[in-house]
Amino acid sequence: MTIPLFREDAYTRDVNGVVMGHTPEGGIVLDQCVFYPTGGGQPGDSGTLSWNGGALNIATAIKGDQESIVLVPAEPRALPPVGTTVMQSLDWERRYAHMRVHTALHLLSVVLPFGVTGGSIGAGRGRLDFDMADAPEDRDSLEERLNAHVTSDMRVSAEWITEAELDADPSMVKTLSVQPPRGAGEIRLIRIGEGDTTVDLQPCGGTHVARTGEIGALRIGKIEKKGRMNRRVYLHLDG
C-alpha cells in the first residue's frame, strides 16, 4: 500500500519517499506519494524524481495492485533501486490547474442539478455529461451563478463517512455511471461551504482547492448533445 499524501494535503509539492518496488512495465512504487493517480476523470500527476546519483521525469501516475500508486517514467531510464530515498516534485502548475478545474466542476453540478454520467478534467478546462434531455437555455444566468459561488470564497473541505451512512443518504452520489469505491469501510466526501451555507457535499477522491476563490473566473463553453438524454457541458478557466 502507498500512503496517498495528496488526500490529506493537496498542496504538498515536494516530499521524500522510499522506493518499495518496481513493476514489470518499469513503474516505480513508493511508500508514500504526492502524485495523484489517474482516476475519477482526473489525469495522473507529472513531475520529477531525484536521488543521490540520478533523476528522471515522471509522465503520469496510475493505480497499482493492493492500493499502491505506480509512477510511470517519461522515458526508459535507470530506475532508483529498491530502498532508495527519492525526492518527489510535482509539476505544480499543472496539478494546481487540475485542482481548480475539479472544484469548478463540483460547482457546475450545483447550478445544473442533474445526474452526472461522465466527466473529464484538464489543466484549462473540464466537462461534465448530464442526464438531461435539453440543453440549458440560460447560459448567462448559469455563468453568473457559477462565478457568484467562486467570488463568495467558500471553504472546500474533506470529511469521511461510513459506507452505511452513504447507503442511508444515496442522494449524495451525483455520478450515475461510477459509484464511490467501496471495501475500505469509509467514503471520502468533499464539502463546499460550511454548515447551513453548504452548497455541495458529494463523494470524491480527487484533489481540490481550499477555497472557491482560488478557482478564478469561469466560462461555460460548448454544450453538446451526446444522446437522447445526455448533454455534455464544457467549463473553462477564464483567467
Per-residue pLDDT of 186-203, as tens digits, reads: 889 999 999 999 999 999
Per-residue pLDDT of 14-36, as tens digits, reads: 999 999 999 999 999 999 999 99
- Higher-scoring residue by pLDDT: 47, 182: 47
Predicted confidence (pLDDT) at residue 94 exceeds the cutoff of 80: yes
pTM assigned to the model:
0.93
Amino acid identity of residue 181, one-letter, is P
Predicted confidence (pLDDT) at residue 181 exceeds the cutoff of 70: no
**What CATH topology corresponds to 95-237?**
Threonyl-tRNA Synthetase; Chain A, domain 2 (3.30.980)
Q: Average pLDDT for residues 7-14, to the nearest whole number? A: 96
Integer Cα distance of 228 and 132 in angstroms: 8
- Sorted by where each begins, the domain ranges of the chain are 3-90, 95-237
Predicted confidence (pLDDT) at residue 86 exceeds the cutoff of 90: yes
Please, what CATH class does the domain formed by 3-90 belong to? mainly beta
Predicted confidence (pLDDT) at residue 41 exceeds the cutoff of 60: yes
For Cα atoms 118, 160, 178, give the angle at the middle one, nearest 5 degrees: 20
Amino acid identity of residue 228, one-letter, is R
In the Cβ-directed half-sphere of 119, how many Cα atoms lie within 13 Å? 31
Stretch (H or E) spanning 58: strand 54-63
Neighbouring-strand partners of residue 187: 161
Per-residue pLDDT of 110-136, as tens digits, reads: 999 999 999 999 999 999 999 998 888
Residue 28 in contact with residue 71, Cβ under 8 Å? yes
What does residue 18 show for φ and ψ, rounded to 5 degrees?
Answer: -115, 130
pLDDT at position 79, please?
A: 96
Chain centroid offset of residue 177 CA:
17
Predicted confidence (pLDDT) at residue 184 exceeds the cutoff of 80: no
Residues 6 or more apart from 47 whose CB is under 8 A from it? 35, 57, 58, 88, 89, 90, 91
Per-residue pLDDT of 223-232, as tens digits, reads: 999 888 899 9
The closest alpha carbon to 122, from 104, 97, 103, 146, belongs to 97
Q: What 3-state DSSP class applies to 120?
A: strand
